[in-house]
Amino acid sequence: MIALANHADGSGDLQPLASFTANPAGAAIVNASGPIRQLVQGDGDAPVRYIVIAAGTGEGVGAPVQVQRPDALAP
């Protein structure tokens, strides 16, 4: 599952964006641009959040297994 985290280490509450199932090689193509676009529109004072890949299903989000590097946000 792809989700947004409030902290750079992926801790805290995760907001799910899209779920997916990887193939036996561990690859998957996930389209999360629509949900991300909907979340980032609005007031300009929104806090920075980080993209994580987490174990989970439609019923719940598990622990993060991969977290966006914070330096990837630098201009």
CA distance 40 to 60: 22
- For residue 75, is it within any domain? no
- For residue 27, is it within any domain? no
pLDDT confidence of residue 65? 78
SS3 content of the chain, % helix, strand, coil (to 5): 15, 35, 50
Q: How many domains does the chain have?
A: 1
Full domain range(s) for residue 10: 2-21+32-69
Q: One digit per residue, pLDDT tens: the chain, 75 residues?
A: 888 888 888 888 888 887 777 788 877 777 776 766 666 666 667 677 888 888 876 667 777 778 887 676 555
